[in-house]
Amino acid sequence: MKKTIVLLAMALMLAVEAASPSWAQEWPQRPIRIIVSFGPGGGADIIGRILADSMQAKLGKPVVIENKPGAGGIIGNEAVANAEPDGYTLGVMTAGQIIAAVTRKNMRYDTLTAFAPVGQIATASLLIVTRPDFPANTVKELVAAAKADPGKIVFASPGFAATQHFAGEMFKQTAKVNLLHVPFKTSPEAINATLGKHADVLFDTVSALIGHVQSGQLKALAVTGKDRFPAVPDVPAASESGVLPGYDVTTWYGLFAPRGTPEPVIAKLNKTMNESLADETVRQRMVAAGVVVKTSTPQAFGDFMVAEYKRWDAVREAAGIPQQ
């Protein structure tokens, strides 16, 4: 009896090993959908569509974008978490969705265990801007002004618990200053509030602000990443100011699948994605969308998401923001 069980187990192992390569060879056999957890026209939607176009050509099957906005990206992520783990449903993960996860309790999925990472797609700095008549012209001057008048300088963001909001919270914690946060529902509302002098400082994406900076309507103090950003090469990194040691905030995009998706399929997806991102036309479209291509292995992207979760959860706790 024991010998029979052992032989059956060995046969099963051999069958699995034999079947594994066929997953990658036979997949895909039908259209693939990429769920974007935000509405059409946003950063995640644009990045997802650029990638989908290229991957579709390489895989020989339609790769379609499906927008499922709501709850800071949680609704779309939940759809991916509950999808069949067969490689035909993927999602675009962003920094904002990680922050949304750390600010909510009793979620119906675990952001760090419900997914199989495929790889990082791109990264982008935010901009720190003020209205033209604001007295600070540099980050160092902004920090000095905030220390001289605690709690009086208002910083706007396009939403509570958005990446832009937490970029401001990390700025406060790193510089040891007190700024008053006023959230708005959208980037245009936050921009208009700053232009209308209802806010002094604004943290938002380069793509949302670059037109206003170039026209002189808003004054750029710095980008939030550790390096200067290609779209605005003359704007210094906040870390260059000397008053924000270690400050480094970027928004980012990555591709993921439901947990349990076969490893050969994940490997094929990662290879196809990285080949797409190496294409010069794709890279140029990404730059035009305001991001810089950033590739990775599935393991590296998974480790990165865990590190991001821990970092933003620490920022939340230091800011005294309760989980809702």
User: What is the pTM (predicted TM-score) of this model?
Assistant: 0.87
Measured CA to CA, the distance from residue 165 to residue 169 in angstroms comes to: 6
State residue 288's pLDDT score. 87
Strands, DSSP E only, in the chain?
32-36, 63-67, 89-94, 115-130, 154-157, 180-183, 201-205, 219-223, 250-258, 292-293
What would the pLDDT profile of 42-64 be if each residue is shown by its tens digit?
889 999 999 999 999 999 999 99
Structure letter (DSSP) for residue 152:
T
Give percent helix, percent strand, percent coil of the chain, each to the nearest 5: 45, 20, 35
State residue 182's pLDDT score. 96
**pLDDT band (50, 70, 90) for residue 24:** low
Which phi-psi region, left, alpha or beta, contains residue 70 (left: φ > 0; alpha: ψ -120 to 50)? left
Measured CA to CA, the distance from residue 182 to residue 202 in angstroms comes to: 10
What would the pLDDT profile of 66-98 be if each residue is shown by its tens digit?
999 988 899 999 999 999 999 999 999 999 999
List the domains of the chain with CATH numbers.
Answer: 32-123+250-319 (3.40.190.150), 125-241 (3.40.190.10)
What would the pLDDT profile of 294-315 be if each residue is shown by its tens digit?
999 999 999 999 999 999 999 9
What would the pLDDT profile of 27-36 be if each residue is shown by its tens digit?
999 999 999 9
The length of the chain in residues reads 324
What would the pLDDT profile of 110-160 be if each residue is shown by its tens digit?
999 999 999 999 999 999 999 999 999 999 999 999 999 999 999 999 989
In the block, tokens 């199989």 appear at 116
For residue 319 the two structure tokens come to 């800011």
SS3 per residue for 251-320: EEEEEEEECCCCHHHHHHHHHHHHHHHHCHHHHHHHHHCCCEECCCCHHHHHHHHHHHHHHHHHHHHHHC
* 256-268: average pLDDT: 97
**pLDDT band (50, 70, 90) for residue 170:** very high
Measured CA to CA, the distance from residue 101 to residue 207 in angstroms comes to: 25
State residue 22's pLDDT score. 55
Question: Average pLDDT, whole number, for the chain?
Answer: 91
Is 70 exceeded by the pLDDT of residue 5?
no
**pLDDT band (50, 70, 90) for residue 289:** confident
